[in-house]
Amino acid sequence: MSNNLKKLLFIPDSHIPYHNKRAFKLMLKVANDFKPDITVILGDFADMYSVSRFIKDPSRKNNLKWEIAEVNKELNNVDKIGSSTKIFIDGNHEFRLNRYINEKVPELDGMLNVKQAFKLQERGWIHVPYRQDYKLGKVYLTHDVNQAGRYSIFRVLDTYMHSVVTGHTHRMAYIVESDGVGNPVLSATFGWLGDTSKIDYIHRITAIKNYVLGFGVGYMEQNTGIVYTTPVPIIRNKCVLNGKMYQG
């Protein structure tokens, strides 16, 4: 591979501790083989169910301390991939923690937040708060722009008018258009790594139909900043990258 290229890993919405553990382990298996220089978490890595506004299932372990511990366990595994640059983007689920503290216990403001709970500074992660973005080369990275549904990938591109990678929808889609003067711009989203059996906020069949297990990889030209991305769907706990099949 050219020394001019940096390898990228995109980890989509995982909703830990309610993630699909087999799919997540498969993603880690591929990542440890791929050896990305840059790892990007696209938001909703954590679910934060215990501090959500939804009516909660009493059969679940409704414990914030446990949720945070489970997220940190999986973040340990992501750290072991060994990327030199790591970018953690908050999603609307991470934002649940900040909102809960602001609304319920404002006295704790500054004592507990996402950055502290997941030890992002100590781990060496670049932290991007919810509703903000990070520019990596010539592509913007953000969780969402208040868009969802099948056509959100187009609406995101219309909003940025620039290449952008997002999470949030749990769908897998990739489009390339022109900015009007002949420069290609992309909009990509890489599915999710969550568990549809744990969903209780929409009809489960809707999630099964629309949500796609997978993740993304890419390459960035260091001299131009152009980013090339590739969706990696997980099908029956298998996926293929660079001509090699991986099975969880």
Q: How many domains does the chain have?
A: 1
Q: What DSSP designation does 202 have?
A: S
The pLDDT of residue 150: 92
Distance, CA of 132 to CA of 36 (rounded, Å) = 24
Task: Tell if the pTM clears 0.85, that is, is over it.
Answer: yes
Spans of the chain below 70 pLDDT: 1
- Count of alpha carbons within 13 Å of 246, Cβ hemisphere only? 22
Closest Cα to residue 120, out of 163, 71, 162? Answer: 71
Q: What is the mean pLDDT of the chain?
A: 94
Does the N-terminal peptide bond of residue 17 adopt cis geometry, omega within 30 degrees of 0?
yes
**Separation of CA 140 from chain center:** 14
Supply 147's token pair: 């868009």
Beta-bridge partner residues of 186: 176
- Residue 18: which residues within 8 A CB-CB, separation 6 or more? 47, 49, 194, 195, 198
The pLDDT of residue 2: 73
Beta-bridge partner residues of 33: none
CA angle 247, 141, 190 (to 5 degrees): 30
Distances (CA, A) of 205 to 15, 39, 135, 237: 18, 31, 36, 20
The pLDDT of residue 59: 76
pLDDT digits (tens, 9 = 90+) for 5-36: 999 999 999 999 999 999 999 999 999 999 99
The pLDDT of residue 53: 87
Burial bucket for residue 131 (CB in 10 Å: 0-12, 13-18, 19+): middle
Phi and psi for 80 in degrees, rounded to 5?
-65, -15
pLDDT digits (tens, 9 = 90+) for 53-70: 888 888 777 799 999 999
The CATH number linked to 220 is 3.60.21.10
Distance, CA of 139 to CA of 180 (rounded, Å) = 17
The pLDDT of residue 148: 87
Supply the range of the domain harboring residue 38. 5-247
Distance, CA of 22 to CA of 218 (rounded, Å) = 23
Residue found under tokens 């897998």 = 172
